[in-house]
Structure 1
């Protein structure tokens, strides 16, 4: 991924989360001008800054750079598990039924398009 693509992805995720440039810069503890340069593809963030942005955007590194890796799946499994912790047993069963149906539909769509 080049500087421009990374910057565009960061900007898209920031806007998707309804964050301003200022709030993301503050959350990532980086300068506002520097963040703007990253988003415009002028500068490539250091690894330290990249990690700060990942944390501030609450995404996995793989999601930010557009990779699907085992660690990315682990990240999503963990997020799902965290969300389900507060549910009752009945709510958990309902979510599982919905998830199973959704997975079946996604697989069906995938086979139809290949």
Structure 2
């Protein structure tokens, strides 16, 4: 998984939704600094936090991971 790509996509979706990083952190029950580190690509969220981010942003996990999935999965 490309942490920077995932972080950028989360950042883009959050901004389009009009949600601050502080608000997203509150919705996900983590610190705002943690959300900012994820968005900058210096941290990768746990599966549990990733799920909370998807729910808070009302976005499909597939959408956030689509670049990573297309690079890692090759037709058999």
Provide, for residues 1-27 of structure 1, a one-character-per-residue CA deviation record: whole Å limited to 9, x for no partner. 310000000000000001111111111
Distance in structure 2 (CA, Å) of the matches to 1:30 and 1:9: 19
- Larger radius of gyration between Structure 1 and Structure 2: 1
Partner of 1:25: 25
Structure with the bigger RCO (C-alpha within 8 Å, sep 6+) is: 2
Query: Normalising by structure 1, what TM-score?
Result: 0.56
Q: Count residues in correspondence.
A: 67
Deviation at 1:65, TM superposition (A): 1.2
Partner of 2:57: 57
Structure 2 unaligned segments of length 5 or more: list them.
Answer: 68-76
Query: Normalising by structure 2, what TM-score?
Result: 0.83
Runs of 4+ in 1 over 4 A off after TM superposition: none
Deviation at 1:32, TM superposition (A): 0.6
Matches for 1:1-114 after TM superposition, within 5 Å: 1-66=1-66
Deviation at 1:60, TM superposition (A): 1.0
- RMSD between superposed Cα atoms in Å: 1.1
Structure 1 unaligned segments of length 5 or more: list them.
Answer: 68-114
